[in-house]
Amino acid sequence: MAKKSVPVANRTTAKRTVRVAVPRVRLSGRELAIVGIVLVVVIAIVGTPLRNYLQQRSEIQRLSAAISEKEAEKDRLQSEIDKYNSPAYVKEQARERLGVIDPGEVAYRVLGRSTESSSADSSVQDQASTKPWYETLWDSVSVAEITPQEMPSADSTNNLPIVPTPTP
């Protein structure tokens, strides 16, 4: 059998580097100007559509956000319409807002503090309780009581009569 040799082990010569001669390109001023003009024209040709594309993409994103916002508002309004189409909700609102009751029910109205104004009333009472007694007395004297205006008398001449008076 023949003896196999490893190519690296049998190498006796040093590595040779091969240099390829690249021709040196020399451009004149005129040729550089032509290349520059061509480059500017290519950038202008590619740049304008690219700018338009980017503007349109941003416009699409803005309009998509506006559409989704309008759809959310539409859904909210549609749910409100659905509530008002429900007889139970209409009945509840009539009870709360107008005080409507069902036939056979007895309505009771509790007079006194309401829960909504209790925080405002308590702050006024706290402020009033922190004033000394003489300031409270002076405030009660200095603030004039509002009196209702006098009712016009029945025989006043500025009112038209309900029944025409006979003329002599």
Residue 133 is predicted with a pLDDT of 85
Residue 47 maps to a domain? yes
pLDDT by position in tens, the chain (length 168) = 566 656 665 566 656 677 887 887 787 889 999 999 999 999 999 999 999 999 999 999 999 999 999 999 999 999 999 999 999 999 999 888 888 888 888 888 788 876 655 555 566 566 656 888 888 888 888 876 655 565 555 555 555 556 666 666
Q: Domain range for residue 131? A: 29-138
Residue 8 maps to a domain? no
Residue 100 is predicted with a pLDDT of 87
Residue 57 is predicted with a pLDDT of 97
Q: Tally the domains of the chain.
A: 1
Residue 95 is predicted with a pLDDT of 87
Please, what is the Cα angle at 155 between 153 and 161, to 5 degrees? 115
Residue 118 is predicted with a pLDDT of 55
Residue 164 maps to a domain? no
Structure tokens at 93: 């609102």
Structure tokens at 120: 């405002």
Q: How many CB atoms lie within 10 A of CB 89?
A: 13
Q: How far is it, in rounded angstroms, from Cα 108 to Cα 91?
A: 18
Residue 89 maps to a domain? yes
Residue 62 maps to a domain? yes
| pTM assigned to the model | 0.39
Residue 75 is predicted with a pLDDT of 97
Residue 53 is predicted with a pLDDT of 96
Residue 60 is predicted with a pLDDT of 98
Q: How far is it, in rounded angstroms, from Cα 113 to Cα 120?
A: 11
Residue 155 maps to a domain? no
**Residue at 129: amino acid letter:** S
Residue 164 is predicted with a pLDDT of 60
Residue 149 maps to a domain? no
Residue 51 is predicted with a pLDDT of 94
Residue 12 maps to a domain? no
